[in-house]
Amino acid sequence: MSDTPATLRAVSSDSSTVTVTESAEGGFAQELFDGRHRLLADEPASAGGKDLGPGPYELLLMALGACTSMTVRLYAQRKQWPLEGITVRLKHSRSYAQDCKDCDTKPVMLDHIERELEFKGKLDAAQTAKLLDIAEKCPVHRTLSKPVHITTKLRLHA
């Protein structure tokens, strides 16, 4: 892609690595590059950003929504069901845990993602129920539903 800075192309030329660097736009703006696609992420103006792109949690929700829709579409196609369209709406929130160990000594915040699916097409009740079940099996949903181990290392400049 011609408008991708050479430094990003050099750092992340394969699609298994995502590279995120601060944007020349300044502030909190970030350039996200996966080897083929370039996106901008930012914080909203209310949080000190310039609102040049979605924020980190919006990107997370977009990934979950896209994966959910793709997984449901793939299943419906395999079954040759009359699914004409899929819409996924997502919201992220945090709430205090109502019933947890150690709540008396420290506040415990729980992340909550609300996902709403809308299917268009002449699906019967059994097909709709099965597609809802399949949505729970999308790979991003599975990743978010388990503990994730993240390792961090420092790369020193030469």
Q: 88 with 141: CB under 8 angstroms?
A: no
Give CA angle at 37 (31, 43), nearest 5°: 30
- More confident site: 77 or 105: 77
Question: What integer pLDDT is reported at residue 158 of this predicted model?
Answer: 73
pLDDT at 10 over 70: no
**Domains of the chain, with CATH numbers?**
6-47 (no CATH), 56-145 (3.30.300.20)
> Model's pTM, two decimal places?
0.82
- Tell me how far apart the alpha carbons of residues 53 and 142 are, in angstroms, rounded to a whole number: 26
pLDDT tier at 95, thresholds 50, 70, 90: confident
| Mean pLDDT of all residues in 8-12 | 47
**Sequence-ordered alpha helix ranges (H) in the chain:** 6-11, 56-79, 125-135, 139-145
The rounded mean pLDDT for the chain is 88
Q: Over the stretch 49-92, which tens digit does the pLDDT of each residue have?
A: 999 999 999 999 999 999 999 999 999 999 999 999 999 999 99
pLDDT at 6 over 70: no
- Tell me how far apart the alpha carbons of residues 6 and 9 are, in angstroms, rounded to a whole number: 5
Closest of 65, 87, 86 to residue 77, by C-alpha: 86
Question: What integer pLDDT is reported at residue 111 of this predicted model?
Answer: 87
Helix (H, G, I), strand (E, B) or coil at 16: coil
Q: Over the stretch 21-60, which tens digit does the pLDDT of each residue have?
A: 999 988 899 999 999 999 999 999 999 999 999 999 999 9
Task: Tell the residue number behind the tokens 């994730």, with chain if given.
Answer: 148
